[in-house]
Structure 1
Amino acid sequence: MSGKIYTIGLDGVPPRLVEEGIDRGNLPTLEQLKKEGVDGVTRSTRPPLSMMAWSTFATGQNPGNHGIYNFILKNENDHDIEFATSEHLRSNSVPMWEYLDAKGIETGVMNVMPGYPPSKTTGFHISDHITTPNNGQYTYPKELQEEIINQVDAFEIGPPTGYTPGDGADSLSEYIERFFHIEKNRVEVSKRLIKNHPTKVMILIFSAPDIFLHEIGHLLNQDHPKYQKNLAEEYGDSPFKLLEVYDQFIGWLIEQMDEEDMLMVLSDHGHGPVYNAVNLNSWLYQNDYLHLNSNILTIAKKISYNYVFDIVEQVLKSTNLYDRIKLSVARSNSEESKFDFAKFLTISQDDIDWSTTTAFTVAGDGQIFINEDIIEKGRCEEFREELKQDLLSMTNRKQGEKILDAVLYGEDVYDGKFTKSRPDLVCIPKPTYRLKFPQTMKTNQFLVEPQKWFSHTSEAEMNGIFYMWGAAAGDSTNVEISLEDFAPTIFHLLDVSVPNEMDGDVRSDLLTSSRKSRTDTYRGKVQTKRAIRSVVQDIPTSE
């Protein structure tokens, strides 16, 4: 294929929201893609976490082979944890743009997690809002950052957060106005990237839909505990208006495309309402699997989280400080941080008594690790099955219902080489439940208000959207594509050999051509290009 390939990611957009938007007549471009090309769903990772999902998209590998299991990662040889960055991903695997760089193919990448520090590849790379630290250099080449800042009156690396349900119409109106202003600026920057920095492959991801649905998802669901009829009537259509912004952008992009170009639109997962949350470390504590130390600092933290934290959290949310502090604390686990705030402010790994703890979590969304060091030799599998059955019996007594749909063995979910950092069990909650981050665990209850209950009223679901349109696209409908399949399919469209290391399939069934794909080994070429770029900032694109 001689044309360009554009991939547009709308983080967290659920298929049902797009379908309703099409039915309303709000999304004519997406309706066009559906009628003229391929449509279906994108199957996310399990659990459907953006960090793990976009890493899977970027590498064409399942999490077991790229090692990014969550936002927070457990070290392979001990209980320590780190916040995921692009350096973890690049040391474990190879993002598709580095493979293509080794082939002399220019790429433009924006906001693919984990994106910081940005890859030094021919074209451009813009980091994401989660892994980029405050005042971090978020572009490569570095001159692009100043260019972006000068293009619009307000550019932020990520969408704004800070709306608190219950604040009233004025607060919500101000939040939505600011949100749309920043996101429209991001779209404008994206247009200028396409016009002024053209590349053979361009991947532009927009995180705003995910953030927006986290913040106001309760207005879409009359059964939600936070639902407010008056606000829903006035602002309940704002998620559709946000999709209109992207629909218009994609319409503009189609007008710029040549006949040989291809377009794919996807979301890494969907969204659904959250009513209740479980802190698994709290449940493990109450069921004698996890124990805490008895030093003064740990005891003070226990008291604080049991009796004070909820009030402090509400104050921080009302002053729009919660998200900034949360990310700063999380990033303090990275190698660049001079002080580990997480160990001081949260129930951290240092607070756990490893001499008696048999099971624990390090991040949210249901991934459990077994402390094999203290399990009787030869009994680990028996212990794991016992823990699994205990977890399945977890009950919300007020509602009189079980909390988990399933508990899976880690190797059945993540098949790959990173076994030492792989979770031993993966818990799948029932709809409307969230398994939250453990660092704010209470020892006196495990069923708690959802993560950021003052704003997070909707959370990720498995299925995202998928559209393919252009010269090589077929006309299949209601297809299912996995996140691993995008990278090998892009290589196939480029008529470039697919790296042997990729797990995904070339989805030739979605294309008009039946041409067979080729495979090759790239690793040496990628390492050579990385070494060159470590000392030379700019090199020619041709080999």
Structure 2
Amino acid sequence: MLPRWTVYPAVAILAVTVSPAIPKRLAPVEAPAAAVASAAVAPAAVPAVKAKHPRLVVLGIDGMDPDLLAEVIERFPERTKNFQWLVNQADGIHSLGTSLPPQSPVAWSDFITGRDPGGHGIYDFIHRDYVTRGALGSTTRPGAGSFFGLIPGSEESNRSGKSFWQVLAEHGVPADVWRMPANFPVEESKGLSFPGMMTPAIDSAYGQATLYTTDPFAASSLDYSKIVDDADFAERGGVIRTFVLGPDADIDGRKAPARAPMKIYVDREAGACAIEIGTQTIVVEPGQWTDFMEVEFTVSDMAPGWLDWLPGVDDPIGGVVRFYLRSMEPEVELYASPVNIDPRNPAMDVSQPSSASADLADAIGTYYTQGMAEDVNALKEHLLTDAEFLEQCKLVYTERRAMFEHALDRYEDKQDGGLLFFYYSTVDLMSHMLWRHFQADHPNHDAQLAEESTASWSGRPGSLWKDIIYDVYLTMDPVLGRIRERMERSPEPWTLVVMSDHGFAPYTRKFSINTWLLENGYLVPKEPVWAKADEAQLEALQAQGLADDEGYVLGEDGQRVQLTDGRELPKSDPAYSARVITAHVDWSKTRAYGMGFNGLYLNLAGRELDDPHTDEDESGIVTADQRRALLEQIKAELEAIVDPETGERVILHADIAEDAYANSERLAEAPDLLVGFNVGYCNSDPASIGYIPHDILADNLGGTFNGSHLMAPEVVSGILLSNARVAPGDHNLRDLTVEVLGFYGIEPIEGMGGHRVLAGPAN
């Protein structure tokens, strides 16, 4: 069976003082297949009486694509027995309509509330500030955050609408909700509730890894801010004295990362390093990952001095961090994960009840609490190689398997039944980062690497890098098998639903909305980019009248030489400098701008506001009377764009918000246009956060996602499987919300749309 995108037509020393009491060296991480056996535990006691509420298990597999799942089942029948069982029960793989746009926080908010974005208010990963037009996180409201603003984010959700588990609780139905995306700050349930994607790390909203190295050139070659280099450690007895970097703090009136002391003892003869934080010491060899280590940042060391009188200001903020020793020769390179919230001592709640995170850590060990645990940013920034990223994902997967077993044990023991929801992120994030190996014609495909073995990771003999997406899918079959085992030994029926929030497709060409808007006159720069004279030549050029007093190159006519019309130069150009809409756009002339992966906004009078901190007037200029006609014009022009390199349409449709959404409570906050890209195309990362890259269209090469779903919804549908009969017709995420409530005899609440999905009892 061919994947769908082929048929759509337009589509981060042991020193001498180290004693033998240092912890033993670490065992290697198991392959996903081996983790299946190690995660399995003794069977839980089977309930003696029938549960009070019927049992419904919803397994959320972020990013699983229906066409790819069918292909995996066809290619690997011996390794997909559990998927085959469920597909037979469901009478096929059903597509599940995703959100508009098909971004994870949007899609999961659709499912959580049964509303579309017009009702729940989450339109993208990235929203925009009405005044500066700068990027904002979408799922929490802008605010100081907790612990005097030291932990990123806010404690107030930006999502409107009641979650389905709150509705269940109001009707007495218990629900355990494990790692639900867009559930931070975490909402209570009648049971346990844990947040998933969009949960911050302590150091930043998405988490930033740190690289410790003896290479003095690492920071410049990698162009990454969190690199700690120390080339002189040998002169100090082989000890690197450094710090774990925490959240940004106000230190002496300037922002700088909070720091906790750390020592790295390097013993090249022994071939190992010892890492010391506080009273903890752990030994690690090249190619090994450590367990999590505890770290504390004291608020009084970070907060402005005028806060010293506040109660609790001397309390520590607890975090956890794990390390990977990349190399010892020729240079030491030590990766440190983002500092996660410590589940045993959380600076912000990462469960409800708040004690549940510590209980879970006691049961399975310390675990990643940040929402995107698979460190995609470390791979983007070349702090990890693809192979090292695979191993880090293996750690996350193994941890999730242990968490899942714990969740199943608890659920099976519960006498009152109810709902169990559990979320897996592995398919989504690994597909984003590793698709180029899977797609032979991807512009960033490495044909030689594609033929190298990944069997040590997958546990499947003969597996290669070019099979990596297949192997990621195969990791989910044993997960399904563990549910199946519990179901088959239960004296009462369990209804099982397996769903994904969206599918997946290739991402081969980058489109930059802001650059297109500039070229077409909708976004107007303050001034072009002028050529500046090289400092060594400046005096001579000025003597010849070829440079002015400010150092700009002059042409034969005495005018400054223009390099670009306001967009960035190519990054390879020595004169490159960033161009961003918050600093380089003339808002008195600009009619439209892009922000977010799929969002286009008008510079609307009365909505986009003047920044009182600047001399210019940034107030919006497009009047209400002009709005609709301007949107129709931009929409038509976007939908007509054809990529000259491929002959394909770039944008399948651009939807005007009020036409696209049935809910309207928060429609005023929506992007005016929602750009639905064809398969193979996405808004570039820089354009998504307000930059104006040089090219409108370019090949998607390194440093970003290479598979994606940030496209038109119809080309990235999710999956729907169940052991109950699926009703005929089209179904979407909001329908599934209605089904969860209806399963317990609860009518949809106000603002929910949709219909029931299941047409009969569990088989």
**In structure 2, distance between residues paired with 1:305 and 1:364:** 19
Query: Residue 163 of structure 1 contacts residue 455 of structure 1 at CA under 8 Å; is this kept in 2?
Result: no
1:360 equivalent to 2:593? Answer: yes
- Indicate the residue corresponding to 1:341 in structure 2: none
SS at match of 1:111: strand
Query: Residue 76 of structure 1 contacts residue 420 of structure 1 at CA under 8 Å; is this kept in 2?
Result: no
1:486 equivalent to 2:736? Answer: yes
Code of the residue aligned with 2:676 in structure 1: it is I
- Indicate the residue corresponding to 2:169 in structure 1: 101
How far off its partner does 1:293 sit?
4.7
How far off its partner does 1:195 sit?
1.3
Q: Would the alpha carbon gap of residues 445 and 193 (structure 1) be closer, same or farther in structure 2, given more than 3 Å must change? A: same
How far off its partner does 1:449 sit?
4.9
- Indicate the residue corresponding to 1:272 in structure 2: 505
SS at match of 1:381: helix
From 369, 391, 401, give the equivalent of 1:187: 401
- Indicate the residue corresponding to 1:44 in structure 2: 98
Q: Would the alpha carbon gap of residues 76 and 173 (structure 1) be closer, same or farther in structure 2, given more than 3 Å must change? A: closer
Query: Residue 86 of structure 1 contacts residue 118 of structure 1 at CA under 8 Å; is this kept in 2?
Result: no
1:456 equivalent to 2:705? Answer: yes
Q: Which is further off, 154-163 or 262-271?
A: 154-163
Q: Would the alpha carbon gap of residues 204 and 82 (structure 1) be closer, same or farther in structure 2, given more than 3 Å must change? A: same
SS at match of 1:408: strand
Code of the residue aligned with 1:254 in structure 2: it is R
Code of the residue aligned with 1:43 in structure 2: it is G
Query: Residue 74 of structure 1 contacts residue 81 of structure 1 at CA under 8 Å; is this kept in 2?
Result: yes
Code of the residue aligned with 2:354 in structure 1: it is K
More helix by percentage: 1
From 407, 424, 432, give the equivalent of 2:680: 432
Q: Which is further off, 215-224 or 270-279?
A: 215-224
- Indicate the residue corresponding to 2:496 in structure 1: 263
1:161 equivalent to 2:212? Answer: no
**In structure 1, distance between residues paired with 2:757 and 2:483:** 24
SS at match of 1:405: strand
Query: Residue 138 of structure 1 contacts residue 145 of structure 1 at CA under 8 Å; is this kept in 2?
Result: yes
Query: Residue 59 of structure 2 contacts residue 497 of structure 2 at CA under 8 Å; is this kept in 1?
Result: yes
- Indicate the residue corresponding to 2:725 in structure 1: 474
* Cα deviation code 1:132-184 (max 9, x no counterpart): 242353222222222333444562232232575998xx943333233123212
**In structure 1, distance between residues paired with 2:401 and 2:565:** 46
How far off its partner does 1:393 sit?
3.6
Query: Residue 43 of structure 1 contacts residue 480 of structure 1 at CA under 8 Å; is this kept in 2?
Result: yes
**In structure 2, distance between residues paired with 1:468 and 1:282:** 45
**In structure 2, distance between residues paired with 1:69 and 1:377:** 22
**In structure 2, distance between residues paired with 1:112 and 1:293:** 43
- Indicate the residue corresponding to 1:202 in structure 2: 420
| Aligned ranges 1:123-522 → 2 under 5 Å | 123-134=191-202, 135=341, 136-152=348-364, 155-157=367-369, 158-161=373-376, 171-196=385-410, 198=414, 200-233=418-451, 234-257=464-487, 258=490, 259-293=492-526, 306-307=568-569, 347=580, 349=582, 352-365=585-598, 367-373=599-605, 374-376=621-623, 378-417=625-664, 418-437=666-685, 438=687, 439=689, 441-442=691-692, 444-450=694-700, 453-460=702-709, 461-469=715-723, 473-474=724-725, 480-508=730-758, 510-512=759-761
- Indicate the residue corresponding to 1:518 in structure 2: none
**In structure 1, distance between residues paired with 2:438 and 2:681:** 17
**In structure 2, distance between residues paired with 1:159 and 1:287:** 39
- Indicate the residue corresponding to 2:188 in structure 1: 120
**In structure 2, distance between residues paired with 1:289 and 1:304:** 13
Q: Which is further off, 395-404 or 276-285?
A: 395-404
- Indicate the residue corresponding to 2:85 in structure 1: 32
Q: Would the alpha carbon gap of residues 253 and 346 (structure 1) be closer, same or farther in structure 2, given more than 3 Å must change? A: farther
**In structure 1, distance between residues paired with 2:428 and 2:434:** 10
Query: Residue 443 of structure 2 contacts residue 699 of structure 2 at CA under 8 Å; is this kept in 1?
Result: no
Stretches of structure 2 that go unaligned for 5 or more consecutive residues are: 1-51, 142-155, 203-340, 342-347, 452-463, 533-563, 606-620, 710-714
SS at match of 1:396: coil
**In structure 1, distance between residues paired with 2:754 and 2:185:** 26
Q: Would the alpha carbon gap of residues 476 and 59 (structure 1) be closer, same or farther in structure 2, given more than 3 Å must change? A: closer
Structure with larger Rg: 2
* Cα deviation code 1:179-215 (max 9, x no counterpart): 1232121121121022136562121111111100011
Code of the residue aligned with 2:480 in structure 1: it is I
TM-score by length of 1: 0.77
TM-score by length of 2: 0.56
Q: Would the alpha carbon gap of residues 211 and 127 (structure 1) be closer, same or farther in structure 2, given more than 3 Å must change? A: same
* Cα deviation code 1:362-391 (max 9, x no counterpart): 2012x2122231125623222222222222
Aligned-pair identity in percent equals 20
Code of the residue aligned with 2:503 in structure 1: it is G
Query: Residue 13 of structure 1 contacts residue 465 of structure 1 at CA under 8 Å; is this kept in 2?
Result: yes
Query: Residue 184 of structure 1 contacts residue 245 of structure 1 at CA under 8 Å; is this kept in 2?
Result: no
Q: Would the alpha carbon gap of residues 261 and 178 (structure 1) be closer, same or farther in structure 2, given more than 3 Å must change? A: same
**In structure 2, distance between residues paired with 1:55 and 1:152:** 29
How far off its partner does 1:445 sit?
2.4
Query: Residue 363 of structure 1 contacts residue 436 of structure 1 at CA under 8 Å; is this kept in 2?
Result: no
SS at match of 1:264: strand
How far off its partner does 1:346 sit?
8.3
**In structure 1, distance between residues paired with 2:657 and 2:717:** 21
- Indicate the residue corresponding to 2:122 in structure 1: 68
Q: Which is further off, 185-194 or 87-96?
A: 87-96
**In structure 2, distance between residues paired with 1:126 and 1:31:** 30
* Cα deviation code 1:15-42 (max 9, x no counterpart): 1221122111121111101112354011
Code of the residue aligned with 1:415 in structure 2: it is A
* Cα deviation code 1:78-119 (max 9, x no counterpart): 956531226676652111111112222222112322121111
- Relative contact order, CA 8 A, sep 6+: which one is greater? 1
**In structure 2, distance between residues paired with 1:184 and 1:89:** 30
**In structure 2, distance between residues paired with 1:388 and 1:148:** 49
Q: Would the alpha carbon gap of residues 488 and 129 (structure 1) be closer, same or farther in structure 2, given more than 3 Å must change? A: closer
* Cα deviation code 1:197-239 (max 9, x no counterpart): 6562121111111100011112222221222334333223333
Query: Residue 155 of structure 1 contacts residue 185 of structure 1 at CA under 8 Å; is this kept in 2?
Result: yes
Q: Would the alpha carbon gap of residues 303 and 294 (structure 1) be closer, same or farther in structure 2, given more than 3 Å must change? A: closer
- Indicate the residue corresponding to 2:335 in structure 1: none
* Cα deviation code 1:325-357 (max 9, x no counterpart): xxxxxxxxxxxxxxxxxxxx9836465433222
